[in-house]
Structure 1
C-alpha cells in the first residue's frame, strides 16, 4: 500500500532529511547551505511516515522570487509530488516574476507550470592556478552594505537586500570603487566542497575578472566553484584559471520580465538556487 504523503512547513527540524535528499542526487550542499537558504525562504516539505521525501522553497526578492531546492525521493517520483511541492511553495509568495535554475530532469515539469528558458548557467570548479592579487580591490565594510544592495538590484532586477545583509556578516565581500561610488562587488563564502565566488557584479568582464582573481588569491579552501552564465562570457577565462566546466543548468522565468539597469551586470550567481 503506498505511503500516505503529508505536507508541512520546512523548518530546521527537517534539514537532516533534506540534506539526505540532496546528497542522494549528488548535490554538494552542506547542512549550513540548506540553513542559509531556509532563512531567506518559505519552504514546504513532503513527509511519508515521518520521513522527508520531498522539498521545495520559494525565496522572495522584492518583485522577483526564486523557486528552488525542488527534490523528490527517488522512490516517490511519478506521483506528481514535485508539482504539488512547487505549487504549495509558490502559493505563499505573490510576485509578478518567478525565476529558477532547472536541471534537465526538471525541465518538463517547469515548462508545464509556465516557465520558459532564458539562458544557460555554467558551473565551473576545481583548484585555481596561483593568482597575483590585483590592485584596486578592497574588502567591503559595513558602511558599504547599502551601496552593495543597490548595485546588486541594478544588476539583477531583484531586491536581494536580505541576502546581501546575511553575506556581509557570514561571508567576505570585496568592492571596486570609482571615487565615492562602488563600481563592482563580489563575495567569497564556504559552500559545498570548498569555497564559492558569487555573486559577482561589475561594469564589464575585465572588472569581474579582477574581483574573482582577488578572491581566488584569498581563498584558503583549495577547491573553488563559480556559477556563471553563458551570456556573461567568463567561461573561457575561468577554465584558463583552472576551473573546469562541471555541468550547469537552464535559467527559466515565469511572468513579466524585470529589466535590470544596464550600467552593471551579474557575472556570477550567489547560488543556482538564488540567482
Structure 2
C-alpha cells in the first residue's frame, strides 16, 4: 500500500523486534508491555505494516479458535497513518488470511465506524473496570459450593466449561494463559461450575477469563484474586451491568473506557438459558 511519499508492505508479526511493537502500542496509549506482545504472538497470528527501512506503522492480529472462528485485535496504526487508510488495509489483510472464518472483535470508539463499514455488526458494550483495589472488599454473598486451586488434570474440565460459555473451544489459549496465571475453580456437588484466572498484564494484573453461571458465583471467583491484590492496580473487562459490575465498583474499580463487541459472519454472543457465561474477558484482543 502506498501512503503519500512512502510504501508499506505486510510482514509477519514474528519477524519484527518486539521493541518496535511496544513502541507502536505506547504511541497510541495502550498498556501492552514487551512481554505482553510476546505472549500474544504465541497465542495467535499477526501482520505488521512496515516501510522500506523496517519502520513499523501498524499491526493487526487474529486468534483462531476451532475451524471457523477467530477473534481479531491489536489493530493499531501509528498517528502518522491513521487518516490514510492504513487500518482498512490491515483489516483487508486479516480478511484474506481468515477467509471462511466468522470473526469477532472489541472495537474502540475511534475504530467503530471503520468496522461498521467493513461489515461488522454491534452486539454488546464492554466496560473496562480498573484501578487500585480497595484494601477491604465489600461483604460477599453466601458461597454456594467450594473454591479451590485446580489440578493439572482439571484443565480439561475448565476448557469444556469455557467452551460452553464462550461458544467455541479455546483450549490452546487457556493452556497458554495457565502457564503464568493463578487459577481458581468453583465446584458444586462435585461438578465444576465456574473458574477464573489472574495474570500480569500492562500496569498491573488482569482478572479474566471469569466464567460462571450467575453473578454470585462470578463475584466469589473474582474476589479470590482481588483480596490478594488489595492496594494494587487491577483490571476486569466485562459486559455485565448488574450485581457483578456493582461489586467491581465497590472494590474501587472504575470504568476507564468502553469498547463495542462486534461480529462479522455468525453472531458471536448467544447466551443460552442454564448455561455458563463469560463474566470477565481474557483480554481486549482475546475476548
TM-score strictly above 0.5 = yes
Q: State the 1:74 CA deviation.
A: 0.8
Distance 1:260 1:10 in 2: 34
CA deviation map 1:197-248 (0-9, x unaligned): 0000001000000010011112378111100114565322211111111112
1:52 aligns with 56
Distance 1:109 1:30 in 2: 26
2:14 aligns with 11
Q: 1:230 to 1:174 in 2, by over 3 A?
A: closer
Distance 2:204 2:198 in 1: 10
Structure 2 residue runs of 5 or longer lacking an equivalent are: none
Asked if the contact 1:54–1:72 (Cα under 8 Å) also holds between the matched residues in 2, the reply is yes
Distance 1:29 1:214 in 2: 25
Equivalent residue of 2:103, what SS?
strand
Structure 1 residue runs of 5 or longer lacking an equivalent are: none
Which residue, 140, 144, 163 being the options, matches 1:153?
163
Q: State the 1:10 CA deviation.
A: 0.7
Distance 1:221 1:19 in 2: 27
Normalised by the length of structure 2, the TM-score is 0.90
Q: 1:231 to 1:245 in 2, by over 3 A?
A: closer
Answer with 250-259 or 184-193: which moved more.
250-259
Normalised by the length of structure 1, the TM-score is 0.94
Answer with 134-143 or 238-247: which moved more.
134-143
Equivalent residue of 1:245, what SS?
strand
Q: State the 1:73 CA deviation.
A: 0.8
Equivalent residue of 2:282, what SS?
coil
Asked if the contact 1:7–1:47 (Cα under 8 Å) also holds between the matched residues in 2, the reply is yes
Equivalent residue of 1:257, what SS?
coil
CA deviation map 1:68-97 (0-9, x unaligned): 100111112222211111121232224442
Q: 1:260 to 1:159 in 2, by over 3 A?
A: farther
- Structure 2 residue 282 is matched with structure 1 residue 265: no
Distance 2:147 2:159 in 1: 18
CA deviation map 1:115-150 (0-9, x unaligned): 011010001111222248978211122111111001
CA-atom RMSD in angstroms: 2.0
Which residue, 239, 248, 255 being the options, matches 1:245?
255
